[in-house]
Structure 1
Amino acid sequence: MRLDKFLTECGIGTRREVKEIISKNEITINGRRTSSPKEKIDLENDVVRMGETVLEYKEDRFYILNKTAGFITATEDAREKTVMELLPEWVNRKDLFPVGRLDKDTEGLLLFTNNGKIAHELLSPKKHVDKTYQVKLLKEIDEKSVKLLEEGVDIGGYVTKPSKVQIINNMEILLTISEGRFHQVKKMLDAVENKVVYLKRLRFGNLELGDLPLGEVKEVTLTDIF
């Protein structure tokens, strides 16, 4: 792979920007400085650095974000702040997009990738990927409501698939669903005459938020996802 393409794929900048970086002798290959954008890179064996940073080419990239409220799940928007603005500089954003959606006021686990096939598999209704949410409620939840949620409720012409409810206390539950319909968790609680006052996704398939701080990002691998 040509050096300029390699740097672009590593998310360093556009083709024009990386050529300028190369021309300033900021790149080394196996400890040797180069100013040629045409230089060939052996992806298996060559060590490429920009300054002291080793650059690693990854065809497929996966990151999880502990999303904060106030950002919409989109790659760009003319009026709203997007989740892309929460990604730190070290994240390679080239072709990156969020998998699925969290509402603007919802916090928690959001996966990003540049692999459309993996994203499709995770979002496909046929896959039934579980998602677990921490749900704080406006009023106390009773056993009848829990049973209804677990059996499936009508959220406006559609009856949800069976879910799992774990009671933290009378005003807070963990809700696990295998679907991802628009505003589904909020609509499910509306259906049992309650309201969501706080919502956070803790798990998405095999991925868990764990102790990742709010607003922070970490890189994950395909084996973490499946």
Structure 2
Amino acid sequence: MRLDKFLANSGIGTRKEVKDILKNKKISVNDIFVKDGKIQIDEEKDIVKYEDKIIYYKPFVYIMMNKPAGVISATEDNHHKTVIDLLNNEYRTYDIFPVGRLDIDTEGLLLLTNDGVLSHNLLSPKKHVDKKYYVKIANSLSDDDIKMLENGIKLEENFVTKKAKVEIICNNSEKNENLAYITISEGKFHQVKRMFKAVNNEVLYLKRVKMGNLSLDEKLKLGEYRELTEEELNNLKV
């Protein structure tokens, strides 16, 4: 691997910044200062140091975010703040992107990474990765509503939702407390909202709490994030 790529992928700086860092003799390979970013190194065997501190190569990053409303699931946008804008400079040299999307007014679990293979596996329709949502709705759900939601609803001429799971938390229209969890294995545009609309209901609040085997860390406040633990990442790859 080229040294400049190694440095950029390790979070040291952008390619341009890395060039200046090398020029100023701040990088050593096996205790020899190097100025040429084009040289090839072995990221597993060679010891690379920045200002005498060993750089441990980290090609991929995996971040769990508690996405707030008003922020879009995109890498850039001319009109709205994106989830990438919420990240600090530590991750600016990685080409991080959100895995899938949450609507601008939807909160909760969002995975961000630069691992295209993992992203593909989680989003592929063939994998049937479950997504669990906490939902506040306008009206209580009848048994027939639940059966329709769980057995599949025709949303478009050629699209019927796959089987879902509905768990009632509270069914009380008088107190305006109609809460439930719904688990789906697809991710069509506004799917959860459209499913409830199909049973004459309205989603008032929506929050994703789980994706595959990854559950939202309840300690994360809206807009906060952290890297996945090794256990979480291993479970996600199952």
State the TM-score, normalized to the length of structure 2: 0.83
> How many Å apart are 1:49 and its aligned residue?
4.7
Per-residue CA distance 1:113-145 (angstroms, 9 max, x = gap): 222222222111111110000111122223222
Decide whether aligned partners of structure 1 residues 69 and 48 sit closer, same or farther in structure 2, where only a CA change above 3 A counts. Answer: farther
Q: Distance in 2 between matches of 1:93 and 1:84?
A: 12
**Residues 68 and 106, structure 1, Cα contact 8 Å, conserved in 2:** yes
Q: Which residue of 2 aligns with 1:117?
A: 117
Find the aligned partners of 1:40 and 1:6 in 2 and give their Cα distance.
9
Equivalent position amino acid for 1:152 in 2: G
Q: Which residue of 2 aligns with 1:128?
A: 128
2:86 and 2:223 in contact (8 A); partners too: yes
Query: Could you say what the CA RMSD is over the residues aligned between the two structures, in angstroms?
Result: 2.4
Q: CA shift at 1:4, angstroms?
A: 2.4
Match of 2:234 in 1: 223
Give 1:69's aligned residue. Answer: 69
Render the CA deviation track for 1:37-94: whole Å, top value 9, x for unaligned: 4466442245545458753322333222111111111111122221111122223552
Structure 1 runs of 4+ with >6 Å offset: none
CA distance in 1, matches of 2:10, 2:226: 17
CA 1:42–1:54 in 2, change beyond 3 Å: closer, same or farther?
Answer: same
TM-score where L is the length of structure 1: 0.87
Q: Residue 108 of structure 1 aligns to a residue in which SS?
A: strand
Q: Unaligned regions of 5+ residues in structure 1, if any?
A: none
Q: Which moved more, 1:88-97 or 1:63-72?
A: 88-97
Q: Structure 2 CA distance, aligned partners of 1:136 and 1:186?
A: 11
Alignment of 1:37-76 (within 5 A): 37-38=36-37, 41-50=41-50, 55-76=55-76
Q: Residues 17 and 122 (structure 1 numbering): CA distance in 2 closer, same or farther, change over 3 Å?
A: same
Question: SS of 1:188's equivalent?
Answer: helix
Q: Secondary structure at the match of 1:155?
A: strand
- Are the counterparts in 1 of residues 108 and 208 from structure 2 also a CA contact under 8 Å? yes
User: Are the structure 2 counterparts of residues 177 and 12 from structure 1 closer, same or farther at C-alpha, using a change threshold of 3 Å?
Assistant: same
Note the 1:123-202 alignment, pairs <5 A: 123-157=123-157, 158-170=159-171, 171-202=178-209
Contact 1:2 1:37 in 2 (8 A): no
Q: CA deviation at 1:100?
A: 0.8
Q: Deviations over 1:2-25 (max 9, x none)?
A: 432221122333322112123344
- Distance in 2, matches of 1:34 and 1:40, equals 14
Residue deviations 1:182-216 (CA, integer Å, cap 9, x gap): 10000011011111111111111111113241222
- Equivalent pairs, count: 225
- In the alignment, the residues of structure 2 paired with residue 47 and residue 216 of structure 1 have an alpha-carbon distance, to the nearest angstrom, of 34
- Taking the aligned partners of 1:117 and 1:5, their CA distance within structure 2 comes to 20
Distance 1:218 1:29 in 2: 31
The question of whether the paired residues in 2 share the 8 Å contact of 1:62 and 1:112 is answered with yes
d(CA) in 1 for partners of 2:224 and 2:55? 22
Query: Percent of counterpart pairs with the same letter?
Result: 49
Mapped to 2, the partners of 1:200 and 1:11 lie a distance apart of 31
